[in-house]
Amino acid sequence: MASTTSSTVTTFTSTTDYWSRRANRAFHVRNLQLGTIRNPTTFLNAHARTTTSPCSSSSVVNCKFASFLFLTWAFPAAAITTEDSAKVIDGKSVAKEIREEIAAEILRMKESMGKDSATYVRNKKKSCEAVGINSYEVRLPEDSSEQEVLKYISGFNNDTSVHGILVQLPLPSHMNEQNVLNAVCIEKDVDGFHPLNIGRLAMRDREPLFVPCTPKGCIQLLHRYGVDIKGKMAVVIGRSNIVGMPAALLLQREDATVSVVHSRTKNPEEITREADNIISAVGQPNMVRGSWIKHGSVVIDVGINPVEDANSPRGYRLVGDVCYEEASKIASAITPVPGEVGPMTIAMLLSNTLISAKRVNNFK
């Protein structure tokens, strides 16, 4: 991976999965074929609030998408670049490396086991096609019953040729998230959200079958850019089941000293300023200011927040939880938004799918 060093900071880069993370869908893999269940109805609820932050526009738009799926894969490699004093860590490049590694391993597995190339799915999604995984989708209307979704999951659970099932959150409001997630058998839980997977992740000397994709991608970025974790102070901002909580557990597994900042935390700025490494996944635009960050720290910004922008053709732009303009002048490495963490999430989904297929076929 090419890199150039700036005077102070670094930035991580990748195309966002903003639309994907807000789509209701479920992925399944059939002979290394990835499929989706999702809601086809898109809806948008926009609410604006006035802000005076120099890192945001005059108002914030909160968006919900129930049925929009957008997976883009073949991202061009990009060298580490510098912006202001912050070195940009290129998430697109790291995700590309990981996809190439997965593609090579899938090819080795297919050649060893004598399998033919799988038939590519409808629309030939580039992400899966690039590594030899074909994706199929089953579309359900927004008003589908929970039982209908559970029926599909049960069918995939019982299909020995299906290697992975992913239920993308959030679900429609009338469905019980816990019931749906728990219905996915642990051996096919490529999203890593099954209670047994999370329980194993939390326990010492136990290994989960799968690690949640976005937190796993964050740790991979730190590893692949040579960021020290062991013995360092780490702060995770946000405690969601999807990112914050598993990210904190992964950092603990890496022997970091971890603090979690959340909505009830007193003096979050002071706590965050002690961190060598920061992972922010709170969903608040530009909440983390430059004053929160210690000089030379590393910042992974998972937040993807739409803010109103009259100059944008879409009427809004995407920003992270971290005020990039301020943080990039203080941190030693940072991920810009939009960018960098999104492709890593998808790369980790493909990685988990490969792990599942290899386990089923006893392929080493």
- Spot the catalytic one: 84, 87, 90, 168: 168
Which residue, among 126, 141, 156, 117, has the nearest Cα to 27 in the 3D structure? 156
DSSP letter at 80 equals: -
Report yes or no: 31 and 117 within 8 Å, Cβ to Cβ: no
Q: Give the number of other Cβ atoms within 10 Å of residue 5's Cβ.
A: 10
276: annotated active-site residue: no
Report yes or no: 340 and 14 within 8 Å, Cβ to Cβ: yes
DSSP letter at 26 equals: E
Which residue, among 163, 191, 167, has the nearest Cα to 32 in the 3D structure? 163
Tell me how far apart the alpha carbons of residues 114 and 54 are, in angstroms, rounded to a whole number: 58
SS3 content of the chain, % helix, strand, coil (to 5): 30, 15, 50
168: annotated active-site residue: yes
- Spot the catalytic one: 124, 151, 178, 255: 124
191: annotated active-site residue: yes
As given in the structure block, the two tokens for residue 243 are: 């990112």
- Spot the catalytic one: 17, 84, 191, 321: 191
Torsion, Cα of 364, 74, 125, 190 (10° steps): 40
Q: How far is CA 255 from the centre of its chain?
A: 22
Does 336 sit behind a cis peptide bond, omega within 30 degrees of 0 on the bond before it?
A: no
Write out the catalytic residue numbers: 124, 168, 191
